[in-house]
Structure 1
Amino acid sequence: MLRPLLATVLDALRDGTHARGGPLPAGGPDTVTARLRHALEDPLPDAGTGADEALRTLVTALAAGAADPAHPRCAAHLHTPPLAVAAAADLAASALNPSLDSWDQAPAASALEQGVTRALAGLTHPTGPAPDALVTTGGTESNQLALLLARERHGPTLQTVCGANAHHSLHRAAWLLGLPAPVTVPAPGGTLDLDALAAVLTDLRGPLLVTATAGTTDTGAIDPLDAVADLCDAHGADLHIDAAYGGPLLFSDTRRHLLTGLHRARTVTLDLHKLGWQPVAAGLLAVPDTRLLDALRHTAPYLNPDDDTEAGLPDLLGRSPRTSRRPDILKIAVTLRALGRTGLGRLVDHVCDAAQTLAGLVEKHPGLELHSRPTISTVLLRPTGATDHAVAATRRDLLTRGHAVLGRAHADGRLWLKATLLNPHTTHGDLEELVALTALVEGRTAR
Structure 2
Amino acid sequence: MRSHLLNDTTTERYRASVTEGVERVAATVAAASRPFTGVQADELSPRVAAVDLDAPLHDTVAALDELEELYLRDAVHFHHPRHLAGGDGPVVIPAVLGEAVLSAVNSSLDTWDRSTGGTLIERRLIDWAAERAGLGPAADGVFTSGGDQADLQALLLAREEAGTDDPRRLRVLTSAGARPGIRKAAKLLGLGPDAVIAVRTDRAGRMQTVALVRELERCAREGLVPMAVVASAGTADFGSIDPLPQIAEVCARHGVRLHVDAAHGCGPLVSRTRRHLLDGIERADSVTVDFHASLFQPAGCAALLVRDAATLRHATDLTDHPEPRRAAQERVPGQAGKSLQGTRRFDALKLWLTLRVMGADAVGDLFDEVCSTAARGFDLIAADPRFDVVAEPQLATLVFRYIPAAICSPADIDRANLYARKALFASGDAVVAGARAGERRYLKLALRNPETTAADLAAVLDLIAGHAEQYLGESLDRAS
- Which bracket does the TM-score occupy, shorter chain normalised? over 0.9
Distance 1:188 1:357, change over 3 A: same
Given that 1:9 and 1:59 are in contact with CA atoms closer than 8 Å, whether structure 2 keeps it comes out as no
| Residue number in structure 1 paired with 2:60 | 51
SS of residue in 1 equivalent to 2:294: coil
| Residue number in structure 2 paired with 1:152 | 160
For residue 167 of structure 1, report the CA deviation from its aligned partner: 1.4
SS of residue in 2 equivalent to 1:324: coil
For residue 373 of structure 1, report the CA deviation from its aligned partner: 1.4
Given that 1:220 and 1:377 are in contact with CA atoms closer than 8 Å, whether structure 2 keeps it comes out as yes
Corresponding residue to 2:306 among 287, 293, 310: 287
| 1:175-186 equivalence runs, <5 A | 175-180=187-192, 181-186=195-200
Question: What does the per-residue CA deviation read over 1:75-124, in whole Å, with 9 as the maximum and x for residues that have no partner?
Answer: 11221111111011110000000012222111111111111111111111
5+ residue gaps, structure 2, are 1-12, 405-411, 474-480
| Residue number in structure 2 paired with 1:10 | 22
How many pairs align? Answer: 443
| 1:42-441 equivalence runs, <5 A | 42-59=51-68, 61-126=70-135, 128-155=136-163, 156=167, 157-180=169-192, 181-189=195-203, 190-205=205-220, 206-208=224-226, 209-298=228-317, 304=323, 306-307=325-326, 309-385=328-404, 387-441=413-467
Greater shift in the superposed pair: 53-62 or 225-234 = 53-62
Greater shift in the superposed pair: 178-187 or 102-111 = 178-187
Given that 1:133 and 1:286 are in contact with CA atoms closer than 8 Å, whether structure 2 keeps it comes out as yes
Matched AA of 2:191:
L
Greater shift in the superposed pair: 425-434 or 182-191 = 425-434
Question: What does the per-residue CA deviation read over 1:186-226, in whole Å, with 9 as the maximum and x for residues that have no partner?
Answer: 11311112221111111213542111111111011111111
Given that 1:25 and 1:32 are in contact with CA atoms closer than 8 Å, whether structure 2 keeps it comes out as no
For residue 342 of structure 1, report the CA deviation from its aligned partner: 1.0
Greater shift in the superposed pair: 272-281 or 172-181 = 172-181
Distance 1:237 1:171 in 2: 18
For residue 228 of structure 1, report the CA deviation from its aligned partner: 0.8
Given that 2:119 and 2:334 are in contact with CA atoms closer than 8 Å, whether structure 1 keeps it comes out as no
Distance 1:305 1:372 in 2: 48
Runs (4+) of structure 1 moved beyond 3 Å?
A: 14-21, 298-303, 305-309
Given that 1:383 and 1:439 are in contact with CA atoms closer than 8 Å, whether structure 2 keeps it comes out as yes
Matched AA of 2:386:
G
SS of residue in 2 equivalent to 1:419: strand
SS of residue in 2 equivalent to 1:380: strand
Distance 1:73 1:211, change over 3 A: same
Distance 2:389 2:319 in 1: 55
For residue 378 of structure 1, report the CA deviation from its aligned partner: 0.6
Distance 1:79 1:306, change over 3 A: closer
SS of residue in 1 equivalent to 2:295: coil
Given that 2:174 and 2:229 are in contact with CA atoms closer than 8 Å, whether structure 1 keeps it comes out as yes
SS of residue in 2 equivalent to 1:5: helix
Distance 2:319 2:339 in 1: 13
Distance 1:118 1:413, change over 3 A: same
Matched AA of 1:147:
L
Given that 1:380 and 1:416 are in contact with CA atoms closer than 8 Å, whether structure 2 keeps it comes out as yes
Question: What does the per-residue CA deviation read over 1:164-192, in whole Å, with 9 as the maximum and x for residues that have no partner?
Answer: 11111111111111124212211131111
Given that 1:298 and 1:317 are in contact with CA atoms closer than 8 Å, whether structure 2 keeps it comes out as no
Identity among equivalent positions (%) equals 32
For residue 31 of structure 1, report the CA deviation from its aligned partner: 2.6
Given that 1:16 and 1:62 are in contact with CA atoms closer than 8 Å, whether structure 2 keeps it comes out as no
Q: TM-score, normalised by structure 1?
A: 0.93
Matched AA of 1:113:
E
Matched AA of 2:143:
V
Distance 1:247 1:255, change over 3 A: same
Distance 1:274 1:170, change over 3 A: same
Matched AA of 2:449:
N
